[in-house]
Amino acid sequence: MNESVKIEHLKLVRLLQLAYSAEKAAAFAYIGHAGSVKNPDEKVAIKQIEMDEWQHRETVLSIMKQHAITPSRYYEIKYHIIGRVISCSCYVIGWFMPYYFAGRLESGNVCEYFIMMRYFNEIGITAHDELLYEMGMKEKEHEVYFQKGLQNNRLLPLFERIFGWGNKSSFNDVDLATKSPVEESKGYCNHRK
């Protein structure tokens, strides 16, 4: 793609910078998460999620470069530290909390990509729609993975009441069983700014 359009949409620039740095934090967290679980199938699945997060970071950076957007030094430092702390904590806080908070985080990340798509579309750019859609759907797959792993856990109802995510609640309105195609996906996450 040869399109190189500098954008002046401050919310979009900030969201791209945030997503870029937060993907690093998530990937770091999944390194610890995969290392802390004993089940080999879970290790493989979580390692794949980590690799997806690194790929998302690379994709977001590619989009940023096309629009002369540089990463935020502040976000890079902040999310580097957050990711490393979470990674280390996975070894001491047990099995449930890393699964729960990973699912909750992924649930919110779904909307980031659909909101980015809307912001780009507001300024007449549709070239990134397919990539943003794919990343949003991949984040939804991650959410569902963690949701399924927790669905029968006795702590889930309590955490769902306190933190607002679980079997009955999500931070997005994407349903993988009936997902809209890219061109009809603009309605996702309209509840979020």
Cβ contacts of 170 within 8 Å, gap of 6 or more: 107, 143
Q: What is the pLDDT of residue 3?
A: 54
Q: What is the pLDDT of residue 126?
A: 96
Q: What is the 3-state secondary structure (H, E, C) of the chain?
A: CCCCCCCCCHHHHHHHHHHHHHHHHHHHHHHHHHHHCCCHHHHHHHHHHHHHHHHHHHHHHHHHHHCCCCCCHHHHHHHHHHHHHHHHHCCCCCCHHHHHHHHHHHHHHHHHHHHHHHHHHHCCCCCCHHHHHHHHHHHHHHHHHHHHHHCCCCCHHHHHHHHCCCCCCCCCCCCHHHCCCHHHHHHCCCCCC
Identify whether the C-beta of residue 176 lies closer than 8 Å to the C-beta of residue 192.
no
Identify whether the C-beta of residue 133 lies closer than 8 Å to the C-beta of residue 117.
yes
Other residues' Cβ atoms within 10 Å of the Cβ of residue 35: 14
Q: What is the pLDDT of residue 5?
A: 75
Its CATH class, for the domain covering 10-187, is mainly alpha
pLDDT tens by residue, the chain, 193 residues: 445 678 889 999 999 999 999 999 999 999 999 999 999 999 999 999 999 999 999 999 999 999 999 999 999 999 999 999 999 999 999 889 998 999 999 999 999 999 999 999 999 999 999 999 999 999 999 999 999 999 999 999 999 999 999 998 999 999 999 999 999 998 899 876 5
Q: What is the pLDDT of residue 158?
A: 95
Domains of the chain, residue spans: 10-187
Q: Which residue has 């909101």 as its token pair? A: 115
Residue from 152, 43, 155, 174 nearest 106 by CA: 174
